[in-house]
């Protein structure tokens, strides 16, 4: 049976891992941290914990439980996902991993910088996927906006396709050793498509396209790369937590519904069992 990769190790991701591994799947969880739940202090409305439980303990106990059952964990950042002949290829900052099925369970973060004009030019020069849209900018001049590993990954993709690529960190300190422009961006300008990046110092620079790659690639960024249907910044799934792309499921805060641990665990259970069923049917 092909490998199942789960992105995210919160309640949804770990719940999915538990059900899938117990069903016989080879499961790998990729996450760089415990997600949004780790920012919470104490959870007092979750079944079985009369006195409440700290978010840290809930996450750590779930990870420990999954490891005991044989789930593999990789502490890394997912920078992209590509379609492959036998499924998918998940790209992290340090490796490329094959998967027969995927479960996205990495929360709702949408790392879009508050730059004037960004919404206006989405699909008209502003892109969220170098692999998807880089081809359309061959022989042109583009910028990648970001300062961390995700931006570096998008830059590496684009430099093999596009003639002129610049990294704009938008005032952030770069976390890589690559040439970049660190000036703060004020707005984007253009008529029917993006044409100018205007900086806070008043300077302007022409770009035919801008690729947004701020922070880490969350559910929103990954869904854009894969062509997943979204609505109101959430991944659209059916009752089996399947997306519109066969073999890709989603669970937790990245899909519609209450942002509660109980709901995330339920989502994970359904996604894990359905991903397992998909893998068995396509082995």
Out of 2-16, 62-76, 88-102, 221-235, pick the least confident: 221-235
Alpha-carbon distances, residue 140 vs 47, 55, 125 (angstroms): 56, 48, 11
22-81: pLDDT as tens digits? 999 999 999 987 666 766 777 888 899 888 888 889 999 999 999 999 999 999 999 889
* Contact by Cβ (8 Å): 20, 27: yes
Q: Which tens digits make up the pLDDT trace of 190-204? A: 999 999 999 999 999
Average pLDDT over residues 228-243: 93
**What's the confidence (pLDDT) of residue 62?**
94
What domains sit in the chain, N to C, each tagged with a CATH number?
3-109+228-281 (3.50.50.60), 126-212 (3.50.50.60)
Residues 142, 209 contacting (CB under 8 angstroms): yes
Which whole-number Å values give the CA distances from 61 to 66, 245, 260, in the listed order?
A: 9, 32, 18
The pLDDT of residue 275 is above 90: yes
pLDDT digits (tens, 9 = 90+) for 155-172: 999 999 998 999 999 999
CA distance 247 to 47: 31
DSSP strands (E only) in 8-140: 26-31, 42-43, 53-54, 72-75, 78-84, 87-92, 96-99, 101-104, 126-127
pLDDT at 45: 86
Burial of 150 (0-12, 13-18, 19+ CB in 10 A): buried
The pLDDT, as a whole number, for residue 110 is 62
pLDDT for 39: 64
> Partners of 102 in the beta sheet?
5, 248
Residue 37: predicted pLDDT = 72
- More confident: 268 or 123: 268
Q: Is the pLDDT of residue 133 over 90?
A: no
pLDDT digits (tens, 9 = 90+) for 147-156: 998 999 999 9
């Amino acid at each position: 049976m092909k490998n199942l990769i789960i992105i995210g190790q919160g309640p949804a991701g770990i719940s999915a891992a538990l059900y899938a591994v117990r069903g016989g799947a080879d499961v790998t969880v990729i996450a760089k941290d415990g997600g949004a739940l780790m920012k919470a202090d104490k959870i007092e409305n979750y079944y079985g914990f009369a006195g409440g439980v700290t978010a840290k303990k809930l996450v750590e106990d779930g990870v420990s439980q999954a490891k005991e059952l044989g789930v593999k964990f990789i502490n890394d950042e997912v920078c992209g996902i590509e379609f492959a002949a036998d499924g998918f290829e998940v790209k992290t900052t340090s490796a490329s991993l094959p998967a027969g099925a995927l479960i996205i369970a990495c929360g709702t973060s949408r790392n879009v910088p508050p730059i004037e004009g960004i919404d206006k030019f989405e699909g008209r020069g502003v892109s969220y996927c170098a692999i998807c849209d880089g081809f359309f900018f061959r022989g042109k001049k583009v910028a990648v906006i970001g300062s961390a590993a995700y931006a570096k990954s998008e830059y590496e993709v684009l430099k093999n396709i596009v003639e002129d690529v610049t990294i704009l960190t938008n005032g952030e300190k770069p976390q890589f050793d690559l040439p970049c422009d660190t000036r703060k961006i004020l707005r984007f300008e253009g008529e029917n498509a993006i044409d100018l990046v205007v900086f806070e110092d008043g300077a302007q620079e022409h770009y035919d396209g801008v690729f947004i790659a701020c922070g880490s690639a969350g559910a929103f960024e990954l869904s854009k790369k894969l062509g997943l249907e979204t609505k109101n910044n959430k991944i659209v799934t059916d009752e089996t937590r399947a997306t519109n792309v066969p073999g890709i499921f989603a669970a937790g805060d990245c899909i519609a519904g209450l942002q509660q641990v109980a709901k995330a665990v339920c989502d994970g259970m359904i996604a894990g069992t359905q991903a397992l069923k998909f893998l068995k049917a396509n082995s």
